[in-house]
Each structure stands twice: as C-alpha cells, then as structure tokens.
Amino acid sequence: MLTLTPLEIEALLLSLRIGIVSVIFSLPFALAVAWLLARRDFPGKSLIDGIVHLPLVLPPVAVGFTLLVLFGRNGVIGAFLYDWFGLTFAFNWKGAALASGVVAFPLMVRAMRLSLELVDRKLEAAARSLGANRLRSALTITIPLMSPGILTAAILGFARSVGEFGATITFVSNIPGQTRTLPIALYVLTQVPGSDAATWRLAILSVLIALAALIGSELIAKRLSARVRGTE
Amino acid sequence: MIEIAIQKQLGQFALDVDFAAPDTGITALYGRSGVGKTSIVNALAGLLRPDRGRIVVGDEVLFDSARRIDLPPERRRLGYVFQEGRLFPHYSVRGNLLYGAKRGGQGGPNLDTIVAILGIENLLDRRPASLSGGEKQRVAIGRALLASPRLLLMDEPLASLDAARKGELMPFIERLRDELKLPIFYVTHEMNEIVRLSDQLVLLQDGKVAAVGPVEELSSRFDLLPLTGRHEVGSVIRTTLRGHDTSFGLSELSFPGGRLRVARLHATLGTAIRVRIQARDVVLATAKPEHLSIRNAFAGKVVDLAPPRGPVVDLRVDIGTEAQPVLLWARITLRACQDLQLVPGKPIFALVKTVSLDRHSLGRYEADEVD
C-alpha cells in the first residue's frame, strides 16, 4: 500500500508534469487577460469576457473536440504549428497540457482579476508621481500587491489541470506514458472488473494531491498577504 | 512662475480655473470641500487629464491641449503628499523613502538630511502598517522630497490627524519652506493652517477661482467674506517681533500703527510674524478705555460694515497709519453697533485680548517680504 506500482508512478508524474507545464504557460496569458478585463475598457469587452469563461461552462468533451479541430495535425492552427515549428499537440503529453491549460484558464483569470481589482490604484498613482513609469509601477507595486491572487490562480489552475479528464481524453486520447494521466488511469481501472483495490489507491492518491495543493496554497497565501499588507 | 489654466468636466461638476502663483513659498488652495482643490493638484501632477488648457511650471510646459503636450506623471518632477499618505504597504519605511530617490541623481536632498529634518530615524526598518498617522505623513513627506521635486503638492496633509498631531507636523512643513526653499502647493480648508504656513492664497468657489493674492489682503476683503468663512471671520496682519518682556512672559510685535502683545515667542528679534485675529476676539470702544485688563488697544476708525446677519454684524476697522492701513475685522452685536452709533469714518479703539492669540494664530513668514 505504501509503495506505488510503476504504472501509478507513471500516471502520477505525468499528471504533475502536465499540471506544472500547463500553469507555467497559461499563467502569463491569464494575467494579461485579467489585466485587460480589470483595467481596460474597449468595445467587445463582454464578448472577450464570455469567450474566456466558455471552458468553465462548456462540456469538457466539447472543449476537447474544439481543440482537436483547431490543434489536430490537420487543424487550422495545428497544421501551421507543425509546418513552421515542427510542434504538434496531437496525441502526446503537450496536447494534454494544452487541454488542461485551456480548461483551467478561466479559473486563473477570475482569481487574478479579483485580486487585481482589489489593488488600490491610488498607490500606483503615488508610484507614478515618484517617477516610476507604467512598467515599473506594475512590477514594483501592482504585481507584488496582487501576488496572493497570482498564487491562488496558479494553485487553482494546477489542481484543475491535474484533475482534467473530459477535454484531455477527447483531444489526445488515452496513451500510456503520454496522455494517461491519473484521472484517465482511474477511469480505465473503473472499466476493468475486479480492480476495486487499484481504483481506490488511485482515487486516494488524487485526493491527496488535491488536498496538498489546496492546503499548501492556503498557508502560503496567508503569509504572502500578511507580507504585502506589511502586518508580518 | 506656475501657471494653471484648465477646464475639466467631472460629471455635474465643472472645473474652470485660470491663475498664476509664484514659484517660491507656500501657495494655499482654499475652499469648501468639493470646490475642486484636489482636482487642481491632480491635474498638476498628471493624475487627472484636463479637457482643455495649459499647465506651466517654471519654464517647462507640463500640459498644453492646443499643442498636444501631456507629460506623464513620472516626468513632471512634482512631489505629491496625499491626504491618506499612500505609503506602499509591502515596502519598509526606508524602501518607501528611497522609491523615488533614483530620479534625483546628484544634487537632490539625501536620505540622512531628510530623515533628520523629519525625525524619522527610528522608523526606517518598520513597515507602514505599524506607524501612527503622524509618522505615516512624515514618511510620505520624506518620500516625496527624496524624489527631488521642483514643486511639492500637499493635499490636506494634516486633515486625517488629530489636533495634537497637526501641531506636531506643522513645524516640519515650516522647515521645508524655510530650509529647503521648496515651493509648495498646499490644499486645505483650515484657515489657521493658512495663517501659519502660507504666503499666497488661491480662493476657490464652485470650481472657479474667486480670488488670488496675499493672505493678509484676501482675508480683509469685504466681498470675500462668505468664502473666507462666516465662522472663521478674521483678519491677518503682518508684524515684526520687536521685543520680549521676560518678567511677564510676553513678546511685543509691531505693525504700522501700534504694538501687539502676545505670549512669549521663541524667535529672534526682527522675525516677521503673521497674526490672525478673529473678528469675535475684537472689542470696540468709542473712548480710550481705562481700568481694563486688555493690554492691546489700538486707535483707529470704522471703514465699513457688512450687512447684519441675525443679531451680529461684522465691521472693518483701520488701525494702521495714513500711509499703511491695517484692516481688522470686528464682530459685535447689532445692538452694540447702534448704541455706539458706529458708522464709516467714526473714530474708535479696537481691543484685542492677548490670551485670544494662541500659537495657532501666529505664523512666521519670509522676512524679505516685509516692506
């Protein structure tokens, strides 16, 4: 019970890798979109807001199917990426990371937008009056003050990525070592008669990862917000 | 010279001002809340973009809608002390102070000097959250100064403090004016801060400039009475410290036409002192008073009377000389006014109780302004 089987280790490491990579690549975009939605007014803003939130409300299978159409080897974007950069998302772990990132994206945008809206813009004005240009004011005032929100977004995105199932299996299928993540392995086991014990082990493993991520983020977020409020 | 001519529509409120201020000393922007004082300093700082107009500080155009000039705030080199301090919570006091210091390069004030003037040596490693209101404001002032501004904007820097803290902070602002020779735009709705600190007064009403001029002149003007404040009616006169009476703890201030005794001042002889005398602290007599405890009695004559309001009437009396009139507001009851038959031109004696002139009524100003 205490040692994991090679199959379990493979699924676990794959899930962690996909979770981390998808967060690293989608976080900057999510921050940019959060900034746009919180700070800018432009025509079509509600449309962008709606599109960003689509993965939250669409059936994950629909998201996976859309990704397949767009990013498959013959898809509009997929073909372009393959021809120009030799990059393909079809049926490999990068595709799984893309699917996870897309599904986690709205959660990350929401968390960061909220924390950005709570940053006192008067502090930015003070920074500007002290000679800081927009970029310096963003890097030294805004981003540090919203760092608890960025952390929350990262953890939330990671947890959502690790748990991603529908979009992933639709987009990149179930390939051992490439796209067979924890939830997919778990699903496969539920389909095999007499594998209750193995199913339980994976289910418990998933719960542990999720709990560790959430508790860890709670602790760090607390310290971080005490730091930025200067009460520590 | 600092020239401001701007228009800005803010919802229902229209700001439309056009005035110039000297680039020395403290210029006070005074008016009730909501007259656009803060909007003017925000426009100066580049934090509020006027619809039309022009802002010039010294020889640099900061904003000119006709020529499409609009310098971003970071390139205007103006220090801004906000009403609420606005210290960065995630920086230490030292970090806050040094935030804008890079801009200064050489020649700007250095950290040690500013820290010493403001008396914040012991706070450097603390976080803003642990500071008191007065300490926060001192750090905010230091932070603005260390960015080497050519003009300091202060938006009611004392408004959020209690009376004791205000009294503590005023000397620091006086030192900025006297030692650093930094021009300051000072937003306030407190007349006693103006008397204590400022030289030039910009009087605002409903988003427009009602008058610009020296504090003494505006405070004695009849037509501005509703603006300089019904409750705070008073006049400001310029005096020079002439002598001390140590045995009784008094100091003597002279002005054209007389000498005023006040509680002992700790300043060198010859210092120029501005005194604010509230109208309700002035007593009028038609004959030279005797057997009275009041030490300050000045011969003069009635200049004019304001329309009576309820049972009281405000009069202006001249207690100066032929060549240099010194105008004093007096508030008395209508009944007394009729009993004494006070009409313009009538000779009177104006009496002022020494104890009514407390520390907040006295302010130092640049001696070279004395004529």
**Which pLDDT does position B231 carry in this prediction?**
56
| Tokens 């080497």 -> residue | B148
Domains of chain A: 6-229 (1.10.3720.10)
Among A127, A129, A231, whose Cβ lies nearest the Cβ of B78?
A129
| Tokens 């401001």 -> residue | B4
The domain ranges of chain B are 2-228, 234-369
More confident residue, A21 or A73: A21
Give phi and psi for B66, each to the nearest 5.
-65, -40
Q: What angle do CA B158, B161, B166 make, to 5 degrees?
A: 60
CA distance B250 to B268: 14
| Tokens 């008191």 -> residue | B132
**Which pLDDT does position A57 carry in this prediction?**
92
pLDDT tens column, B15-64: 999 999 988 889 999 988 888 899 999 999 999 999 999 999 988 999 99
Distance from CA of A28 to the nearest CA of B (A): 23
**Which pLDDT does position A136 carry in this prediction?**
94
What does the block give as tokens for B147? 């960015």
CB of A227 within 8 Å of a chain B CB? The answer is: yes
**Which pLDDT does position A105 carry in this prediction?**
95
In chain A, which residue's Cα lies nearest the Cα of B101? A130
Asked if pLDDT for residue A1 goes beyond 70, the answer is no
**Which pLDDT does position B361 carry in this prediction?**
74
CA distance A61 to B42: 53
Distance from CA of B142 to the nearest CA of A (A): 11
How far does chain B reach from its first CA to its final CA, in angstroms?
Answer: 21
Among A130, A131, A145, whose Cβ lies nearest the Cβ of B90?
A145
Contact map slice: A 145-204 vs B, CB within 8 A: 145
Contacts of B270 (CB under 8 A, 6+ apart): B240, B241, B367
pLDDT tens column, A171-197: 998 888 888 999 999 999 999 888 888
Summarize the confidence of residues A156-185 as an average pLDDT: 90
Asked whether the beta carbons of residue A128 and residue B78 sit closer than 8 angstroms, the reply is: no
Which of A154, A160, A147 has the alpha carbon at shortest distance from A115?
A147
CB of A122 within 8 Å of a chain B CB? The answer is: yes
User: What residue type is A112 in one-letter code?
Assistant: M
Asked whether the beta carbons of residue A130 and residue B72 sit closer than 8 angstroms, the reply is: no
Lowest pLDDT segment from A202-206, A218-222, B96-100, B107-111: B107-111
CA torsion through residues B61, B65, B67, B70, sign: positive
Cα–Cα distances in Å, from B1 out to B18, B55, B68, B99? 13, 11, 21, 28
CA distance B335 to B365: 38
Q: What is the third-level CATH fold of B2-228?
A: Rossmann fold (3.40.50)
CA distance A202 to B207: 70
Asked whether the beta carbons of residue B73 and residue A122 sit closer than 8 angstroms, the reply is: no
CA distance A91 to A78: 12
CA distance B76 to A15: 52
SS3 A216: helix
The most confident of the ranges A47-51, A217-221, B156-160, B246-250 is A47-51
Mean pLDDT by 10 residues, chain B (371 residues): 93 92 89 87 94 93 94 93 92 94 66 88 93 91 92 90 82 82 88 82 90 82 68 80 87 88 85 86 87 85 86 89 87 90 90 80 59 33
Judge whether B240 and B199 are in contact, CB under 8 Å. Answer: no
Which of A190, B148, B145 has the alpha carbon at shortest distance from B157?
B145
| Tokens 């020889």 -> residue | B59
Give phi and psi for B6, each to the nearest 5.
-140, 155
**Which pLDDT does position B185 carry in this prediction?**
93
**Which pLDDT does position B230 carry in this prediction?**
54
Asked whether the beta carbons of residue A122 and residue B129 sit closer than 8 angstroms, the reply is: no
The CATH number of the domain covering residues in B234-369: 2.40.50.100
Beta pairing class for B2-10 and B52-57: antiparallel
What does the block give as tokens for B97? 């102070």
DSSP notation for A59-89: -HHHHHHHHHHHHSTTSHHHHHHHHHH----
Neighbours of B358 (CB within 10 A): 10
Torsion of CA B11, B14, B19, B24, to 10 degrees: -30
**Residue A38: its H or E element:** helix A6-39
Q: 3-state SS of chain B?
A: CEEEEEEEEECCEEEEEEEEECCCCEEEEECCCCCCHHHHHHHHHCCCCCCEEEEEECCEEEEECCCCEECCHHHCCEEEECCCCCCCCCCCHHHHHHCCHHHHCCCCCCHHHHHHHHCCHHHCCCCHHHCCHHHHHHHHHHHHHHCCCCEEEEECCCCCCCHHHHHHHHHHHHHHHHHHCCCEEEEECCHHHHHHHCCEEEEEECCEEEEEEEHHHHHCCCCCHHHHCCCCCEEEEEEEEEEEECCCCEEEEEECCEEEEEECCCCCCCCEEEEEEEHHHEEEECCCCCCCCCCEEEEEEEEEECCCECCEEEEEEECCCCCCCCEEEEEEEHHHHHHCCCCCCCEEEEEECHHHCCHHHEEECCHHHCC
